[in-house]
A and B are shown apart, each in its own frame.
Chain A
Amino acid sequence: MSLTGAGSLPPLDITRAPEGGEVGPVQSGWRLALREFTRNRLAVTGTGILLFFVLFSFVGPVFYHGNYLTSNLLATNVPPGTGYPLGTNNQGYDELALLMKGGQAALEVGFFSAVIAIVIGALYGAIAGLAGGIVDAVLMRVVDVFLSIPFLFIVLIVAVKFGASVLSLSLLIGAFSWLVPARLVRGEVLTLRVRDFVAAARVAGASQARLITRHLLPNAFGVVIVNVTFQVADAILYIAALGFLGFGLQWPNQDWGDLLSNGITYLQDGYWWQIWPVGACIVLVVMACNLIGDAARDALDVRLRRR
């Protein structure tokens, strides 16, 4: 006799543990974000383009041995054709090989400078956000000061003296790009530090360093990832500008901006193969990074998720 009358329940059998229901697939935050990301067709296109360029620049030279180091005055300004898929430039260097080498430089500098910027910026922002008060105010004033410096001018001035290698360019661009990640991470940390898990960690005796490295930064990672992709895109545009103005990498390193500026001298002669392939490479890589960044931002935004 059941007083509740809520349908007939099976008799309670206390000799066996109750059966659980179906266990769904693991739905961690990162996996959901990844699923959203892969559903976005533009993001997949962008990732594909980026992957293509990574393979093109780093694996391509293993299969294609073009000449980009020694001048060959018998084959200058040859249009695309037999032996030279993309023609040669005014010193007889093979354009396709130059593109691969330039791609290596662009991707390396883009990636390294983004990593440097993110590492410095994230630590700086986390320390400022966690410390609060006077320390926070002073640190953010310093960021404001550096943000008021016109980026391209300072980078150009320092590049005149120190700009000739991949490492120095990465350091230079990274040294002036950490400001935006610092601000973003500080904002995230300010939101996170009032959460319960931070209070729990503090009560458990976590030091400031452990709080930052083990609790705050991993949770601010979403913002950081989005910013990394945009940093890479910006860095590639900046070294292209540096190379175009003549202050980028020097021989034997090549970068795309340098190639473009060499090609422009022959704009009126119609040597299109020295200009448009390079331009297309720059645009495609930057666009791919922007697409990935946009999609990552949408994927990590929980409000936009479709269930």
Chain B
Amino acid sequence: MIRYIARRIGTSIVVLIGVSIFIFALLHAIYPSPAIDVLGSRANSTLIAAWNKQNGFDDPWIVQYLRYMGDLLRGNMGYSYKLNQSVASLLSEVWARSAWLSGASLVLAVLIAVPLGVYQAVRRNTFGDYAATTVAFSLYAMPVFLLGLILIQLFALDLHWFSFEGSQSTSLPSIIVDPHSMTLPIVTLTLLTVASFSRYMRSSAMDVLAQDYIKVARAKGLPERLVLLRHLLRNACLPMVTLIGLSIPALLAGNLITETLFNYKGLGLLFYTALQNVDYNVLLAYTMIGAVLTIIGNLVADIALTVADPRIRLA
């Protein structure tokens, strides 16, 4: 087991290095140097070349890559020339708010999808199952922003129950206790995630229900509630562990669009602003962080599944 975990971590580090090289090379190819942003758009090529030489942007990209990785490991993520702040300070201002949005919606999605999936499996092919499947299917086919739009139109503009903007506050505690403005963004992200989670939960629960030990439990006379809680739930949740780990990229993408739609100042909106300004360092830092989170998510999903499921035999 320890050997498996060590091997997995080793593979993840190799993948991480490969990903970082690719991302850096790609961004470097698209956007070689921020000289024009610093010097102004009327700088001539001699000035640009001199600035590049002075700031190390004319070294071969491998050297620049190694220098960037060295800085990154010391916590220095570069400087944003468009926003005149170090990238690390920009990220530290907003990451907590994004973490709250994504974390709350993920937890809520799991809390809804697991019972829903079990219900759909137990009451298979009844009206409730078909209704839930139809809803999940339509949500699955909707882009994030369309779902958010529908919610805004219905609940914010027509019924005035919630605000059409995310919370504009800068302090995390006040955001957490602000359901008026945070409900719609969180619900948007949650519904998207629930759509796919509940489908997986449903099929996994159906597989477990067909097992012999469920029949034995029922034949023993165990009340249905205990059959579901003690036997079905534990075994059906195993694929969810993998699913949660693998849903990190989708969560990041959904986060980006939701924050842009609701004007919620988190990492996603920061990335969107950086895209419009072509703020190279912020883009690079954010993509690297996204890649790291994805890899960590996969790693945790693999290891958690190995720990949770004793049937998995490791080579």
Binding site for B on A (CB under 8 A): 141-142, 144-146, 148-154, 156-158, 160-161, 233, 237, 240-241, 244-247, 257, 260-261, 264, 267-268, 275, 279, 282-283, 286-287, 290
* A153 and B290 form a contact (CB under 8 A): yes
B30 at the interface (CB under 8 A from A): yes
- Residues from chain B with a CB closer than 8 A to the CB of A282 are 142-143, 146
B104 at the interface (CB under 8 A from A): no
* A245 and B149 form a contact (CB under 8 A): no
Question: B258 → chain A, closest Cβ, in Å?
Answer: 11
Question: B18 → chain A, closest Cβ, in Å?
Answer: 4
- Residues from chain A with a CB closer than 8 A to the CB of B204 are none
B4 at the interface (CB under 8 A from A): no
Partner of B141 from A148, A156, A233 at Cβ < 8 Å: A233
* A246 and B256 form a contact (CB under 8 A): no
B157 at the interface (CB under 8 A from A): yes
Question: A173 → chain B, closest Cβ, in Å?
Answer: 14
Question: A179 → chain B, closest Cβ, in Å?
Answer: 12
* B146 and A148 form a contact (CB under 8 A): no
CB interface residues, B 294-311, toward A, < 8 Å: 294-295, 298
Complex Cα–Cα for A275 and B145 (A)? 12
B241 at the interface (CB under 8 A from A): no
CB interface residues, B 127-175, toward A, < 8 Å: 137-138, 140-146, 149-150, 152-153, 157
- Residues from chain B with a CB closer than 8 A to the CB of A233 are 141
Question: A140 → chain B, closest Cβ, in Å?
Answer: 11
Partner of B27 from A157, A245, A257, A286 at Cβ < 8 Å: A157
- Residues from chain A with a CB closer than 8 A to the CB of B30 are 157-158, 160-161
* B290 and A141 form a contact (CB under 8 A): no
* B290 and A267 form a contact (CB under 8 A): no
* B146 and A260 form a contact (CB under 8 A): yes
* B257 and A157 form a contact (CB under 8 A): no
Complex Cα–Cα for A144 and B295 (A)? 10
Partner of B26 from A144, A157, A241 at Cβ < 8 Å: A157
Given A141-B14, A144-B15, A148-B298: A264 and B253 interface contact (C-beta under 8 Å):
no
Given A145-B18, A246-B276: A154 and B146 interface contact (C-beta under 8 Å):
no
- Residues from chain A with a CB closer than 8 A to the CB of B271 are 153
- Residues from chain B with a CB closer than 8 A to the CB of A144 are 11, 15
Given A153-B287, A283-B141: A145 and B15 interface contact (C-beta under 8 Å):
yes
* B144 and A241 form a contact (CB under 8 A): yes
* A151 and B14 form a contact (CB under 8 A): no
B208 at the interface (CB under 8 A from A): no
Given A237-B143, A244-B257, A260-B145: A154 and B26 interface contact (C-beta under 8 Å):
yes
CB interface residues, B 237-256, toward A, < 8 Å: 249, 252-253, 256
* B26 and A245 form a contact (CB under 8 A): no
- Residues from chain B with a CB closer than 8 A to the CB of A283 are 138, 141-142, 146
Pick the 8 closest A-B CB pairs, nearest first.
Answer: A145-B18, A287-B141, A150-B290, A152-B253, A286-B141, A279-B146, A153-B287, A150-B249
15 residue pairs A–B, Cβ–Cβ below 8 Å: A145-B18, A145-B19, A145-B22, A148-B294, A150-B287, A152-B253, A154-B287, A233-B141, A244-B257, A245-B260, A279-B146, A283-B141, A283-B142, A287-B141, A290-B141
Q: Most A CB atoms within 10 A — which of B140, B145, B295?
A: B145
Chain B residue nearest to A156 (CB atoms) is B275
* B286 and A268 form a contact (CB under 8 A): no
Complex Cα–Cα for A247 and B157 (A)? 28
- Residues from chain B with a CB closer than 8 A to the CB of A158 are 26, 30
Complex Cα–Cα for A236 and B27 (A)? 25
Partner of A154 from B23, B137, B150 at Cβ < 8 Å: B23
Question: B213 → chain A, closest Cβ, in Å?
Answer: 23
- Residues from chain B with a CB closer than 8 A to the CB of A279 are 142, 146, 149-150
B283 at the interface (CB under 8 A from A): yes
Partner of B275 from A151, A157, A240 at Cβ < 8 Å: A157
- Residues from chain A with a CB closer than 8 A to the CB of B23 are 149, 154
Complex Cα–Cα for A244 and B30 (A)? 22
* A148 and B257 form a contact (CB under 8 A): no
- Residues from chain B with a CB closer than 8 A to the CB of A237 are 143
Chain A residue nearest to B294 (CB atoms) is A148
Question: B37 → chain A, closest Cβ, in Å?
Answer: 14
* A241 and B145 form a contact (CB under 8 A): yes
B122 at the interface (CB under 8 A from A): no
Chain B residue nearest to A42 (CB atoms) is B137
Partner of B137 from A157, A245, A275, A287 at Cβ < 8 Å: A287
Q: Most B CB atoms within 10 A — which of A142, A154, A158?
A: A154
- B 248-288 to A, binary, CB cutoff 8 A, 1 in contact else 0: 01001100110010000000000110011010000100110
Complex Cα–Cα for A154 and B283 (A)? 9
Complex Cα–Cα for A268 and B164 (A)? 10
- Residues from chain B with a CB closer than 8 A to the CB of A150 are 249, 252-253, 287, 290-291, 294
Partner of A247 from B31, B144, B275 at Cβ < 8 Å: B275
* A148 and B291 form a contact (CB under 8 A): yes
- Residues from chain B with a CB closer than 8 A to the CB of A149 are 19, 22-23, 287, 290-291, 294
Chain A residue nearest to B142 (CB atoms) is A283
Complex Cα–Cα for A260 and B144 (A)? 12
Chain B residue nearest to A157 (CB atoms) is B283
Given A149-B23, A160-B278, A279-B149: A241 and B143 interface contact (C-beta under 8 Å):
yes
Complex Cα–Cα for A283 and B252 (A)? 22
Complex Cα–Cα for A130 and B167 (A)? 54
* A267 and B149 form a contact (CB under 8 A): yes
Question: A106 → chain B, closest Cβ, in Å?
Answer: 12
- Residues from chain B with a CB closer than 8 A to the CB of A244 are 143, 145, 257
* B145 and A153 form a contact (CB under 8 A): no
* A245 and B295 form a contact (CB under 8 A): no
